[in-house]
C-alpha cells in the first residue's frame, strides 16, 4: 500500500438514508424468517463481544455500513469503529468492535462482513492502481461497471482507495462513444453539429466527453470542443501523441483494458484520467472475519 | 473449460418476478432522469441491431436477465438469446441479439452487460473448480458470501457453472459453527443436548450441519447425529482421516480458504462437498461487449 | 389447553425487520390520512393507560407485534408485555399494558388487536391439535395454506401453539405430489430416475418428500429413497399399514382433511408428522380487547 | 345459500393496480428463489391444463385474484373464469380453467388457491348471515377486524357475499366509542359540544356514528344528531326499545358478539345495520382445489 | 389575513408514518449519493444553528414536515418549532430553529424549505378565500386537483388555512358528474334508479353528491335524494335560485372557476360549500428561508 | 407564446420506468379501494371516447404521463397523443384522445389531468420567461425548488417550455453559497484553498459554481476559478459590472427574486443563465379538461 492511499481517511460517509436502504434489503435477503441456528442454540439473553479483524493487508472501506447492519438487527448493540474507511491496514488489525446480545451479533455478522469484504476489496485494488501511478498526476477513476444496486457504495469505496469517480449514471454527463458516432453518421449529422446541439440543450452543469478511437478523428473531435477526450484502447505512444496534439484544450482520459502492469505507461503518456472497470467489476474480496468473545 | 460444465444448460431460470425486481432497481440506478447522451445525439426513431459477444472463454450466465433489462427499457425491443445460460463459450461467440430503437438499446446496454459480466464471471470460476475435482464425486458449493441484493442470481450463476448451492439464508438450515459452540459452552449446554433440542423445535425439512475444527471434537459431533459435518480449515490428510472416521454417518463438507490449487486434494480426501466463498466474492468479471450495427 | 402447549413460551420472536415491515403496512392500511375520530375528539395531550385483555381461553401469540404497532404510531408509548407468546391464558388475563398519549393508543388499537386475535387464534387451534395427539410422538405441522403476506407470522403462531413448521416456501424443500407424478408419467420419466436427478441438482440442505396416494405406489416410492413420505387422504388402518411397511426408512407425514376428531387416530397410526391446513386457513380469531383507563 | 346471495355477481372487481400489488407480494413470499419441485421434476416445455373446482357449497370470491396470480407467474397462461365472484356454487363446480406451461401453473397454484379459499370463505359466511336476516331489511356489514394487508380484498369478499361494507379505515368516518366518551368526560367536554366541533372541522363527506352502551345515554346521543347510532352489546328487546325511541332520527347499527344464531333477532329489533367481526376474522376457508390434466 | 384563519392552530398533524414516507422519498430525490458541496467544504464536525424565517405574510403549514426532514438526515439535530401550523405570520417571523452538525442542516435545508413553501402557500391562499367569505357561513373546500403524491399533505395545508376537505379519493364519496349522467342516459337508466341502486350497494358511510348543470335538472336531482348538490359553473343569481328551490333538502356546493373576486358572491348565494381547485393546483409558494449562524 | 417556445417539441420523454413509478403512486393515492362512483353508475361494458382539450393558451407538457395513467388503469385503452409536449397550443386544442371502457377512462381521468395541468403550467410559465429574454442569449434555468417527488418531471416540463435545467440534486454539481462561505470562514479555510481541495476530490464531471453577494468578493471568487459565478440578488447595473469584470472567465448566472417584469433587464446585463424558482414553485395550473362522448 502506498502512503498516498493513506490520506483518504477523510472521505465523507454516504448519506445515512442510502445506507439504511441497502442494509435493510441485505438483511431481509439473509435473515429470512429468522436465524434458525442462533435462535435454536444461543440463549436469548447471552451477551457477547466480537471484533472485526483484517485478515490481510489493504485499504478498509464499509465500516459504517457494517455498523448500520448491526444496528438494523438490534439498535441496542454497542458498535465502535476502530479504523476509518480509507485507512491502510495490515493483517490482524481490529476494525470494529460490537457488543451486546450474542444472537443479534451472530444474525448480523454475515451481512456486515459481506459489505466490508466487498468494499474493502474495491478500495484495496484502487489503492494499488493509485500507487502505481504515483507522481504522474494522473487520476484513477471508476466506471459504470458496478454491481447492480451497489453503485453509490462501490464508488464510495473507490474514493476510499484514493481513486476518483467518473459519472454516476447516464443522466449526469454526456459521453459520446463509437456507437453514438456511428449513429450520427447514419443520421447524417456531423459530430460538431451534434455536440453543438447537445450543449444548447443540456444543463450547463453537464460536461461533455468524446471518445477517440484513432488519431484520424482528433481534429474533428477537438473542433467539437469537448470538456474531456477519451482515448480508447490506444498504445501508450499513440496516447502520448494524442495528449501532445490536444495540448490542454481538453482533459484527457485513457480507457480500455488497462491493468496494473500497463497503468503506469498510460499515466506517463500524460493523460489526466485513467478509467479502470476492474476496480469495481473484478476486485477480489478483502479478507475480514469477526472474532467472538462470548 | 471442462465438458462437465457443458451439461448445465438446462438450469431453470430464476422466477420472472425476481428478475424484474432486480433489473428495475438496476435501471433506476443507472438511468436517473434519462440517458442524456442518447437523448441528445440519437434520433428518436433510429433503428439499430446489436449483438452481445463474449470476449473471452468461459461459462455464460445471466442472458435472461439481460433480456429482462432490454425489455424493461422498451418492451418492443426484439431480443433473441443465442446461447443458453450454463453453456461454455469461446471468445467471439454471439450470446444475444437485440433489435429496435437505438436509444433504448443504448440506454439498457450497461445494465444488461453488468449482469452478464458478473454472473458469467461467477459461472466461469465455478466451472473451473468443478473441472478441478472432476471424477472425485465431490460437489463444489457456494456460501452466503454473496453480493448484498444479488444472492438468488449469484447462486443461480453457481448452478450455471456446474456448482451446487448451500443454504440460501439463515432460515433454511442450521449450521453450528465455532462461535455457537463457544456460546453453548458459556451457557453450560452440551452439544448433544443442544442439537437434540434444536431438532425437536425445527421443521423436519431443516437439516443440521456442525462445524468441526479438530478431530478432538469428532466423537461428540457424531454423537449429535448431524446431517452434515463441516471440516473447517483442515489439512488434506486430517480431512481424509475425519472422512474415514465419520464413515458415511454424515455428509462431509470441506471449507476454509480452498483455492483452485488445493481443491483437488480436498476432493480426494473424500469429502462430499467443498464450499468456496471465492465463487461469489472474488470472481473476476467475464468480458462481454455489445457490438452495434446502426 | 394442554400442559404441553405451555412449554412453548421460549419461542424466539420473528426478526424485528420483518415485524416492522408487516406492521407499518398494516398501519398505513388502517390509518389513511389520519384517525379522524381521535383527532376530532381527544385532546392532543390527554394521557391514557390501556390493558389488552384476553376474553377467552387459549394460547396467546403476537404480543411483540402489538408492541411494534404501538411504537410505530408513537415511539414514546410505554409498552409492557404481561404475558409471553406461547403461554396458555384464561379469560380476563391481562396481556399487555400501554401508556402514553391517548390519541396514539387509540390510533394503533385496531391494528394491534388484529394481529393478536389472528395469531392467538392460530396458536390456540394448534394447541388443541397438539393436545389431541399428546403422548403419541406425532408432530402437528402447518402447510403453505397461509394468509398471503403473513406467512412468517402465521408459522410463528403455529410454533407458539406447540406445533411445528413445514416448508416455508417452494424454494426450501421438494414435495412431489400427484400432479408431479402425472407430469413425470406424461414425460416418460420414472419416479426413481426423477428423484435421482433432483437430488443430483438440489442443495444438500433440501430434503425430499413424496406423496403416496395408495399402497400400490409404496415400493416405487421407497425405492426413490425420500426423506419423508406423505400419506395423503388415507384411512387410519391404511396409514398404519403404510407406516409398518415403511419401517423407519423414511419419516412419515399424514395429510388430507384431518380434523380434531380424526387427528388422534392418525397419530396412533404411527406417523411422525400430521399436517393440518386448518391451523392457518380456518382458525377462528381469539377474542382480545383493549380496556382503557383515561 | 339463499337466493339473495345469488344477486351479487355484478360486484365490480377491485382495481387491477391493487390486485397486482397484493398478488406479487404473495408470490414473492411463496416462490422464494424458485419452485424447486417443479423445476426439478417437470420438463420446461410440458403443457398442462387445470381446473379450479369447488369442494363444497358456498359463494365464490377471488377468481380475478387467482387469474392475476397465474398471469404474474407467466403472462402467457390462458386463464378463463368459469364462475363469477358472488355466485353461489356447489361442490364439484368448475370455477376457473388455466392452460399453458405446467411448471408455471404448479408454481402459481398455491397462491391462487390461498386467495380463493380465504375470500370465498368470507363470502360464504357473509351469505349465511345475509340469508339469516332475509326479509328484515337489515344490512349485514363488516368491521375493521380484517387481516392486515388484505382489507380491501376482504371487504370486497363481504360484498360478494351480499354483505355491505362499513368504513374502510380510520380516516373515512367518525365512530365515537365508549373510550372516546370516557376521554371526553376526562377532558370535561360534553358529547354534544364535541360532536358539534367535529362536524365543524370534518369534511362534509364524513358521516358521524355514536356508540350507545345503555339507554341512559340515548337522549344525549340523539341531541348530538349523529348520522348513525351504534347499539353495542344490547339484548334484542333493549335494542328494539332503542330503535323505537330513535324513531328514524338516525340510522341504527347493532354490534357486539352477534352470531348466526342471534342475528335474526337483532334484525327483527328493527336495526338498519348489523356489524359482524366474524365475517372477516373467523370465516373458515372455503375448500377449493386445482385438478390437473397434464 | 383574517382572524378566522388564526383559529386553526389546533389542526392535528398528519400521522408520523405518512410524514416519514413522503419525507424520505423527497430526501432520496434531493440527496442522491451525497451533498457534494457540504461534504467538500464543510468540516465534518462544524456545528451550526439556523432559523427558518418567513419572508412574507401568510399562514404557515408544514413545520412538522420540515422537522421530520431534518431528523431523517440526522436524528441528533435539535429542532424546535417556533410557530404552529395554521398560525398567521408576518415577514421576519422565526418559524423553526435547528441546531447541530452544519453539514446535516445544509443537506436537509432544501427539502425542508420545499415542503414549507408549498404547504404554506396553500394554507395562505386558502386563508384568503376563507376571509373573503367571512360571515356567510360558507365553507371553502378543496378538490382532488392536488399534486400527485402529496394529497394528504396538501389537504392538511388546506385545513391549516381554515378551509375544509372534500373527498380524499375516488373510494370515499360518490360524486355524480355530467359524464356519469351522460353514461346513464346512454345505458337507459334513470338518475333516480341509478342513485337508488348505488345507495343500496354502497357503505352507509359513503355520502352521495350530484352535479347540477342547469335548473332544468333540479327536480329530478332532488328526487334522487342526494346528500349534497353540486351547482357547477352557475352565475350567482342562478345559484341563489337553486339554493332557494333546494330549500335545505340537500347540502349545496358551488364549483367551477370561482376566484377570489367571485367567491363572496357565490357565498352570498347561500351555498354551504365552495370548492376551489386553485387552492392546491395554483397556490404560489410562500417565501421562507433558512438563516444560518455558523 | 413566442415562436421560440415552439421549437421544443423534440424534448425526449422521461424514461418509462420513471413515469410508471410516479403514475402508479398517483393512482394508488387517488383510486383507493375503487372508484365508487363509476363502479356504481357506469355499466361495466359501456364504451366511451374522450378528448383532453386545452382550456387556455400555453405550452403543453405531460401528455405521455397522461397516456401512462390511462394504460396503468387499463392497458387496453386506446390512447392517441394529438399534440407533442413542448408545443404551443390555444384554447380548444385537442391534446389526447382516449377510447375504451368508460369506467377505466373515468377512473384515470383526474390523475391524467393533474399531471398535465401541473406540468403544462410549468412549461407555460417557463415559455413566458424564455420569450421575455428572446434575443439576449440568456438561458432561463430552473432550481431545486421543485415539488417533492416530482423533480424529474418538473424539470422535464421546464425543458418543454424552452427553459434549461440546473443541477438535479445535491450530488451532481458543487454550488458554494453564502452559508458555505461563512462556514469556511469559521473553519479558517480560504475560498481558494477550499475550492482547490474540492476540485482535487470531486469527479471531473462535476462543475463548480460560486455565489457572489457583492462585487467585493469578485476577485477572490475569480481566483478560485469556478466554472460558473452566481450573481445573487444584484441590481441590473451591478450585475452588468460583474459580468464585465468577469470577462468570460466563468459562466455567469443571475438569481434572486427575478420576475417576468425584471427578467429582461437581468438578461440584458449580459448573464448567461437566469435561474427562476417560480418556474416550479409558483406556476399556476394550466387549464385542461376531458370531454366525453359516451
Could you tell me the three cell numbers for B30?
443507472
Summarize pLDDT for E97-130 with one digit per residue, the tens.
999 999 999 999 999 999 999 999 999 999 999 9
Cα C69 to chain centroid distance, Å, stands at 20
| Chain segment B83-121, per-residue pLDDT in tens | 999 999 999 999 999 999 999 999 999 999 999 999 999
Compare CB distances from D31 to B15, B156, B168 and report the shortest one's residue.
Answer: B15
Selected residues 132-161 of chain E with any CB under 8 Å from a CB in chain D: 139, 141, 159
Residue A61 is placed in which grid cell?
472501506
- Chains touching chain B through at least 3 C-beta pairs below 8 angstroms are A, C, D, F
B206 lies in the same domain as B237: yes
**CATH code of the domain covering residue F7:** 3.90.1170.20
Give dist(CA C141, CA C273) in Å, integer.
7
Do E272 and D164 make contact, defined as CB atoms within 8 angstroms? no
What's the pLDDT tens digit per position in A100-121? 999 999 999 999 999 999 999 9
Using the Cα atoms of residue F170, residue F174, residue F177 and residue F180 in order, give the sign of their dihedral: positive
- Please give the Cα distance from F202 to F243 (Å, whole number): 27
Q: Do D35 and B18 touch (CB under 8 A)?
A: no
Q: What is the pLDDT of residue F209?
A: 97
C interface test, pick of A33, A36, A73, A104 with most C CB neighbours within 10 Å: A33
End-to-end CA distance of chain B: 34
Instruction: Give the phi and the psi of residue E260 in degrees, each rounded to 5.
Output: -60, -30
In this complex, do B73 and F17 lie within 8 Å of one another by their Cβ atoms? yes
Q: Which of C20, C31, C34, C73 to mutate to test the interface with E (most CBs of E within 10 A)?
A: C34
Total domains in the fold of chain E: 2
Rounded CA separation E69/E20 (Å): 8
Kindly state whether residues E77 and E153 are assigned to the same domain: no
| Cell numbers at A96, concatenated | 470494529
Distances (CA, A) of C275 to A79, B197, C106, C129, E272: 44, 21, 39, 10, 62
Q: What pLDDT, on the 0 to 100 scale, is given for residue D218?
A: 96
pLDDT in tens, C182-199: 889 888 899 999 999 999
Residues C91 and C149 in one domain: no
d(CA C17, CA A75): 11
Residue D6 clears pLDDT 70, i.e. is over it: no
State residue E294's pLDDT score: 62
Is B162 exposed, middle or buried, given 0-12, 13-18 or 19+ CB atoms closer than 10 A?
buried
Q: Catalytic: B177?
A: yes
Q: Give pLDDT, residue A4.
A: 36
CATH number, residue C205: 3.20.20.70
pLDDT < 50 regions, chain F: 1-9
Q: What angle do CA E95, E101, E103 make, to 5 degrees?
A: 95
Chains touching chain A through at least 3 C-beta pairs below 8 angstroms are: B, C, E, F
Neighbours of chain D (3+ CB pairs under 8 A): B, C, E, F
Residue D15 clears pLDDT 60, i.e. is over it = yes
**Residues F72 and F23 sit within 8 Å (Cβ to Cβ):** yes
**pLDDT per position as a tens digit, F104-158:** 999 999 999 999 999 999 999 999 999 999 999 999 999 999 999 999 999 999 9
- Radius of gyration of chain C measured on its C-alpha atoms: 23
List the beta bridge partners of residue D53: D94, D289
> Which of F32, F176, F292 is facing E37, going by the closest CB pair?
F176
Residue E277 and residue E139 share a domain: yes
Please give the grid coordinates belonging to residue D104. Answer: 408455471
Q: Each residue of B133-180: pLDDT tens digit?
A: 999 999 999 999 999 999 999 999 999 999 999 999 999 999 999 989
Beta strands in F142-287 (DSSP E): 174-176, 208-212, 228-232, 251-255, 273-275
Owner of C-alpha cell 502512503: A3
Cell of C46: 390527554
Q: Is residue E211 annotated as part of the catalytic site, yes or no?
A: yes
C-beta atoms of B204 and C172 within 8 A? no
Residues 44-103 of E with CB under 8 A from A: 44, 72-74, 103
To the query of whether residue C145 is one of the catalytic residues in this protein, the response is: yes
Alpha helices in chain C (DSSP H): 16-31, 36-41, 63-73, 102-132, 151-160, 178-187, 191-201, 218-223, 236-246, 263-268, 278-281
Q: Are residues A191 and A277 in the same domain?
A: yes
The answer on B227 and B159 residing in a single domain is: yes
Instruction: Sort out which chain E residues have CB atoms less than 8 A from F102's CB and list them.
Output: 183
Mean pLDDT of chain C: 94
Residues E127 and E260 in one domain: no
With beta carbons less than 8 A apart as the criterion, state whether E280 and E143 touch: yes
Residue A34 has which C-alpha cell? 429468522
Tell me if C33 and E17 make a contact (CB, 8 A cut-off).
no
* CA pair distance F272, E270, nearest whole angstrom: 55
Backbone angles phi, psi at A96, to 5 degrees: -160, 140
pLDDT of residue C257: 87
Q: Residue B220 sits in which domain range?
A: 135-281
* Cα–Cα distance for residue pair D229/D245, rounded to 1 Å: 12
Distance from the Cα of C14 to chain D's closest Cα (Å) equals 15
At residue B2, the pLDDT reads 33
Write out chain B residues lying below 8 Å of C209, CB-based: 205
Cα separation of B294 and B101, whole Å?
Answer: 10
Question: Both B173 and B108 in a single domain?
Answer: no
Inter-chain CB proximity A15 and E107 less than 8 Å: yes
Give the pLDDT of residue C8. 46
Question: pLDDT tens digit string along D174-209?
Answer: 999 998 998 898 888 999 999 999 999 999 999 999
The answer on E200 and E76 residing in a single domain is no
Per-residue model confidence (pLDDT) at position C45:
87
- Chain A residue closest in CA terms to F159: A201
CA distance A79 to C151: 33
SS3 B21: helix
Which residue of F203, F209, F272 is in closest CB contact with A166? F203
Catalytic residue check, E213: no
**How confident is the prediction for chain F on average, in pLDDT?**
93
Per-residue pLDDT, averaged over B18-41, amounts to 93
| D157 and D262 belong to one structural domain | yes
Do F208 and F226 touch, CB atoms closer than 8 A?
yes
Same domain, C170 and C265: yes
E166 close contact with D: CB closer than 8 A: yes
Q: Which of B232, B253, B264, B272 is catalytic?
A: B232
Q: Within this chain, do residues F114 and F102 fall inside the same structural domain, yes or no?
A: yes
Q: Which residues of chain E have pLDDT under 50?
A: 1-8
Instruction: Give me the average pLDDT of each 10-residue run along chain C (294 residues).
Output: 40 91 95 91 92 98 98 97 97 98 96 98 98 97 96 97 96 93 89 95 96 94 97 95 97 95 96 98 97 82
Compute the distance between CA of residue C251 and CA of residue C271 in angstroms, rounded to an integer. Answer: 8
d(CA C9, CA C162): 9
d(CA C238, CA C252): 13
How many A-F residue pairs are in contact by the CB < 8 A criterion? 57
> Would you call D155 a catalytic residue per the annotation?
no
As a 3-state breakdown, chain F gives helix, strand, coil percent values, each rounded to 5, of: 45, 20, 35
**pLDDT value of position E32:** 85
Smallest Cβ–Cβ distance between C17 and the set A27, A39, A44 belongs to: A27
Amino acid at each position: 500500500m502506498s502512503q498516498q492511499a493513506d490520506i483518504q481517511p477523510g472521505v465523507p460517509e454516504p448519506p445515512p438514508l442510502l445506507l439504511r436502504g441497502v442494509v435493510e434489503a441485505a438483511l431481509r435477503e439473509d435473515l429470512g424468517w429468522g436465524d434458525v441456528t442462533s435462535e435454536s442454540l444461543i440463549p436469548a439473553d447471552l451477551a457477547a463481544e466480537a471484533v472485526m479483524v483484517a485478515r490481510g493487508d489493504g485499504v478498509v472501506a464499509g465500516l459504517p455500513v457494517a455498523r448500520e447492519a448491526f444496528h438494523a438487527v438490534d439498535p441496542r448493540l454497542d458498535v465502535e469503529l476502530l479504523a476509518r474507511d480509507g485507512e491502510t491496514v495490515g493483517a490482524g488489525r481490529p476494525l470494529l468492535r460490537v457488543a451486546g446480545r450474542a444472537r443479534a451479533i451472530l444474525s448480523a455478522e454475515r451481512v456486515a462482513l459481506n459489505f466490508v469484504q466487498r468494499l474493502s476489496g474495491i478500495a484495496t485494488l484502487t489503492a494499488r492502481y493509485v500507487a502505481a501511478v504515483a507522481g504522474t498526476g494522473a487520476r484513477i477513476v471508476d466506471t459504470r461497471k458496478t454491481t447492480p444496486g451497489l453503485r453509490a457504495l462501490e464508488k464510495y469505496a473507490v474514493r476510499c482507495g484514493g481513486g476518483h469517480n467518473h459519472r454516476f449514471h447516464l443522466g449526469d454527463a454526456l459521453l459520446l462513444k463509437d456507437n453514438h458516432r456511428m449513429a450520427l453518421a447514419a443520421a447524417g449529422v456531423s459530430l460538431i453539429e451534434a455536440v453543438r446541439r447537445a450543449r444548447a440543450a443540456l444543463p450547463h452543469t453537464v460536461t461533455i466527453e468524446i471518445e477517440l478511437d484513432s488519431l484520424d478523428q482528433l481534429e474533428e473531435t477537438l473542433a467539437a470542443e469537448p470538456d474531456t477526450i477519451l482515448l480508447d484502447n490506444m498504445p501508450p505512444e499513440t496516447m502520448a501523441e494524442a495528449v501532445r496534439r490536444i495540448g490542454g484544450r481538453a482533459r484527457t482520459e485513457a480507457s480500455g483494458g488497462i491493468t496494473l502492469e500497463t497503468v503506469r505507461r498510460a499515466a506517463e503518456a500524460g493523460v489526466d484520467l485513467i478509467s479502470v472497470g476492474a476496480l469495481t467489476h473484478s476486485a477480489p474480496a478483502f479478507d475480514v472475519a469477526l472474532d467472538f468473545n462470548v
